[in-house]
Homo-oligomer: A and B are copies of this chain.
């Protein structure tokens, strides 16, 4: 049975440690196809906590030591964001399969390096913990889009503001919501899953104009409020809106194409399929707007989370971990290949860069410029520690 290690025993690390036991933190969030052997953290208290969960766990305070110990075949990285690509690279180089928590990194410059190392080591399985890819509503949307159910993409609008974060949440960790500690705010911490879903469903835009508001309604360095306008190579466009201070929040995704529209909101997906594709209707419709023949007619299908087989938060994570293990052992392919993580990060970086420079950004972004701009903010960040392994 595959021997797994976990590095970073913070909130998510604890969820993962417990998912390898028969008493998971989240009911039914159990990983059955592998064994947790070792944990690593620089904080001895975290390791003691892990021992209370499983006294047989091997503990490490040095990540490289855990990798080279011969005790593990695969490692889950749940450390602070800045460490993700550094640890990912180190693991791959040591031929240890790796599953990285979101986001894959903070800036694309070193994630590109990570991807390069991964491509040079195709025998090592590199996955990402994009648990939302197991969400049945998003899977259904992907299925409809892949089957050409909405036709040529035209417009997307996503308002996701239902992750309320009060000031004490930010004050809870000194690294939180700082440039040097976390490297961003709502985009890098709360939204990476949705931004991954966004590009998974709609593809990558080629132009971004975003307005990030840094410290809006919260005493933090980074963005707590974002509105981004994007354009796609095929002529489509979209808007992505997120914040941590809207109450009550909204989570509504609308995607429209030439053949129909998908709306996901309130745990259901509405799919409206046009009886006549828009470009054809445009050719045959007359100027008489009161004639129903000249207006879009559609069939609507509603899918609910419940009927599609809702997967609770936490169980999603266990499913992604099991999928990664299945991929390592050749039984399945990855739900979220690690090399795809750069796409969501590129979008995140482009939105922040657009605000830094107060202008439109063409994609792919200038990764060195973003790194330089980010480092300027890190230099004056109130978080002074630097991450290393």
Contacts and interface: CB of A to CB of B under 8 A. Distances in A.
Nearest to A289: B169
Q: What band does the interface of chain A fall in when counting residues whose beta carbon is under 8 Å from B? A: 35 or more
Interface string A158-177: 01010011111101100000
B159 A295 contact: no
Interface string A273-305: 010001101111111010000111010000000
A211 interface: yes
A160 to B, nearest CB: 12
A252 B266 CA distance: 15
Contact of A287 (B168, B245, B295): B168
A235 interface: yes
A282 B246 contact: no
A28 B289 CA distance: 21
A350 to B, nearest CB: 16
A229 B211 contact: yes
Contacts of A281: 166, 247
Contacts of A295: 164
B247 A274 contact: yes
A194 to B, nearest CB: 16
Contacts of A225: 237
Interface string A341-359: 0000000000000000000
Nearest to A359: B359
Interface string A241-260: 10101111110101010001
A294 B250 contact: no
Contact of A241 (B157, B248, B298): B157
B287 A274 contact: no
A261 B157 CA distance: 19
A247 B211 contact: no
Given A247-B274, A248-B296, A254-B250, A171 B287 contact: yes
Given A159-B254, A229-B229, A252-B252, 5 more contacts: A217-B279, A217-B282, A227-B229, A245-B278, A247-B296
15 contacts: A161-B256, A164-B295, A166-B281, A171-B287, A172-B287, A211-B229, A216-B235, A227-B229, A239-B239, A246-B261, A247-B278, A248-B260, A248-B261, A248-B274, A249-B296
